Amino acid sequence: MLRLKKLQIDVNTTNGLFKCDVPFTDGLNIIRGDNTTGKSTCLEAVLYCLGMEELLGGRNEKTMQSVLKTELQYGDGKKYLVVESMLTLEVSNGAKSIALRRAVKSSYRDSRLVEIIDGPALTSPSNTYSSQFAYLHDPGAATDADFGFHAYLEEFLGLQLPIVEHFSGSETKLYLQTLFPTFFIEQKSGWADFLATIPRFGIRNVKSRSIEFILNMDVIENCRKRQTIAQKKAELLGRWRSCYDAAVRTARSCGGLLAGFGRKPTTFLNADEIYIHIIKEEKEIPLGDYVSELHDELRKIEKIPIPTVGNSVEKAGSELNSVLEELNTKSLRHDQLLAEVGDAVSKLANLNKQLKDIESDLRKNKSAIKVQDYGAQLKLNIAEQACPTCQQSIKDFLLPQDIEQEPLRIDQNVSFLEEQRKMVITYIAGQKNTIENKQRLLNAIRNEIHGIRKRSRLLRKELVSDERQPSEAEIEKKVNLRQQIAELTHADELLSEELIELTELSRQWKEVLEEEAKLPKNYFSELDSTKLSELEEEFKALLSKFGYRSKSQDYVSISRDTYLPSVEPLNVKTGTHDYNIRFDSSASDFIRSIWAFTCALFKVSKSQVGNHPYLLVFDEPAQHSMANVSIAAFLEELETYIDAQVIVAASFNNSESDFKEITAGRNFTLYKIDKNLLAP
């Protein structure tokens, strides 16, 4: 938890020291002061001491009011120059108190430094407390456990911030600053939207992440688990692929093909079914069978002594004839295959281009659906296919309206394109497969042609060589066979080595898949769903308590997507898209819904043991001439949060009677600023 104890502001001016002390108690605190007396200065100072000034839209001293850095007005409009200013805030985490001191304007202290005093230096001053400095807004401020202030504060508050996804695709810690807008509503822009002042830090869906953490939802943990599993899978996939590629290279090195497993990891890896195919005569033969065939042939040749050229010349002559014939047919087939491959490749290129076009069209169409929704929220006629001038229905296209064609609705258009995309993807896969097969055949034929040519050259040579010489063709045949057998056996050995690693990878793959199966099927765990419906119930109950009237409660809900209040559209056409309650509420009702949402978050976090710091701060909740009864109802609600600390700064329309009317019967601690927050 985070509890404020006391704030001290010291401003040294050309006319001496001005200061103020603002004590805070548990339960409801009201800071009352007329306009421009310094209520916001006071609450902004709290943020500044906690290093949270990014909620005010900047960093360091430039976020602070001029009274703390340039010029101080006092009494009858006299102005004094600020020489030095220092803010000190004492906070407690329930067990321990510390004081945080930070300079706004100082000649000797950098505004990025926060002095952490290890003890209640404001409520019971003593000079025995040790102190240390920590820094802000530098790389490492959030993670450096020794000198980073936010890392210190995170530990002090007993929080453990989760790792979340960054827009760049990398990961980052959820910053502490992103939590504050869930309980600290600052005046300048805090009332513009839910969590309006949240700094983004490039975190994807930062508001949702922050709410998830405040409610301590399982989604965070599950997301993290999902990510580690995805990482492990990616790593295994990479190793599997390199293994597969190595095996493919092995197969190719001996002119064969790999069978029995693919580039995708599988848990059913049967080592017996993995072997190399050799293509012969456009047919596939398992390597083992082929090797034994070669062995047989070799044995047959070895039985017969090598004949001389004279003995084999006739045989050579007829063999040359048949070899030449074979060469002819093979060359024809080769050319035919080559043309087919070329054809298939250009078809593939065409399909790829088509796919790219469809995908870009899809992206645009999806944007078109969204802008249609946004248009409807802004109540634009054209978004509802009505003429903005005469309200008659128009066709949803920009072609001349008198064309007698009905356009597809955008969502139909999208599903039409999705179908096309699926189809083209299937075609592409098929086409790739065809190319691969043809290429394979082509390579085999090339090798065969190469062999035949070599053989024919040898036979020709033999026909003209000395008759008494031993037949070179026969010797060559023998040597060739031996060499081929050696090569193939070597490849087989390599493959079995690769199989050992693949079996191990397959086992690990199975483990990962099992882990993945253990993750909850639904995005939300049961507890998460309970938390969200409780949030919705609380939110609705508080809305009616605070007098919200813009929209019937039946349409109000908490979006399961953003966790923010949303209104379901009456418009059936746009389907399930809900939108921000802001669009459909009056200005004061939107403020009521911010009150209700901030309170509901606290209540649910409390009942479901979330990470809420039990602190709620509202700077001027009475925006947009809010009705007094509504503020009274709001304070009545806040009063019941006795185990939390609630701080409300308000002017009560600068009127004593309004103040009395609104706070009648309430139990609270009042800090009244009479004229100026700072006094000599």
Strand order in the sheet with 615-619: 184-185, 615-619, 645-650, 27-33, 669-673
The three-state secondary structure class of 579 is strand
**By the 8 A CB rule, do 467 and 308 touch?**
yes
> Is 381 among the residues that bind another protein (CB under 8 A)?
yes
- The residue within the footprint of another protein, chosen from 40, 88, 197, 377 (CB under 8 A), is 377
Cβ within 8 Å of residue 577, ≥6 positions away: 373, 569
Report 106-165 residues binding another protein (CB under 8 A): none
How many chain residues touch another protein (CB under 8 A)? Answer: 39
In angstroms, give the least distance from the CB of 352 to another protein: 15
The residue (of 117 and 567) whose beta carbon lies closer to another protein is 567
The span from the CA of 631 to the CA of 677, in Å, is 24
Q: Which of 194/671 has CB closer to another protein?
A: 194
Q: How far is the CB of 11 from another protein (least distance, A)?
A: 38
In this complex, which beta carbon is closest to another protein, that of residue 404 or of residue 554? 404
**Beta bridge partners of residue 470, listed in sequence order:** 308
Please tell me whether residue 66 binds another protein under the rule CB under 8 A: no
Min dist CB 179 to another protein, Å, is 21
Q: Rounded to an integer, what distance in angstroms lies between the CA atom of residue 65 and that of residue 57?
A: 13
- 402 touching another protein, by CB under 8 A: no
Is there binding between residue 392 and another protein (CB under 8 A)? no
Q: Are 334 and 445 in contact (CB under 8 A)?
A: yes
Residue 363 in contact with another protein, rule: CB under 8 A: yes
Closer to another protein by Cβ: residue 307 or 407: 407
Q: Is 397 an interacting residue with respect to another protein (CB under 8 A)?
A: yes
In the complex with another protein, which residue's Cβ is closer, 564 or 600?
A: 564
Query: Residue 482 contacts by C-beta under 8 Å, 6 or more apart in sequence?
Result: 298
457 residue type, one letter = R
Does the footprint of another protein cover residue 360 (CB under 8 A)?
yes
C-alpha dist (Å) from residue 470 to 303, 455, 474, 479: 16, 16, 8, 14
Q: Which of 545, 610, 525 is nearest to 182 (CA)?
A: 610
241 or 370: CB nearest another protein: 370
Q: Which residues contact 226 (CB under 8 A, 6 or more apart)?
A: 519
**Applying CB under 8 A, which of residues 249, 263, 370, 507 lies at the interface with another protein?**
370
- Print the binding letters for residues 159-178 with another protein: x by CB under 8 A, - otherwise: --------x-----------
Residue 355 binds another protein, judged by CB under 8 A? no
Q: Counting contacts by CB under 8 A, is residue 407 touching another protein?
A: yes
Report which residue type is found at 41: T
Distance CA 673, CA 38 (A): 8
Question: Does residue 409 bind another protein (CB under 8 A)?
Answer: yes
Of the candidate residues 73, 354, 413, 562, the single one contacting another protein (CB under 8 A): 413
Where does this chain touch another protein (CB under 8 A) — which range of 35-43, 68-76, 137-145, 359-367? Answer: 359-367
Q: Which two tokens stand for residue 370?
A: 């969204």
Q: Does 380 bind another protein (CB under 8 A)?
A: yes
**Contact status: 396 vs another protein (CB under 8 A):** yes
- Nearer to another protein by Cβ, of 119 and 565: the residue is 565
Note whether 406 binds another protein by CB under 8 A.
yes
CB atoms within 10 A of CB 402: 6
Region from 373-381, 458-466, 569-577, 604-612 binding another protein, contact rule CB under 8 A: 373-381
Q: Which of 23, 162, 260, 375: binder of another protein (CB under 8 A)?
A: 375
Is residue 575 within 8 A of residue 583, CB to CB? The reply is no
- In terms of CB distance, is 201 or 374 closer to another protein? 374
Which residues contact residue 412 at a Cβ distance below 8 angstroms, ignoring those fewer than 6 apart? none
Phi, psi of 190 (to 5 degrees): -65, -20
For the bound state, the minimum distance from the C-beta of residue 594 to another protein, rounded and expressed in Å, comes to 17
Element (H, E) at 440: helix 410-464
Cα Rg of the chain (Å, integer): 40
- Residue pair 31/87 in contact by the 8 Å Cβ criterion: no
Retrieve residue 69's tokens: 């850095």
Please give the residue ranges that form the binding site for another protein (CB under 8 A): 167, 360-361, 363-365, 367-368, 370-372, 374-375, 377-378, 380-383, 387-389, 394, 396-400, 404-410, 412-413, 416-417
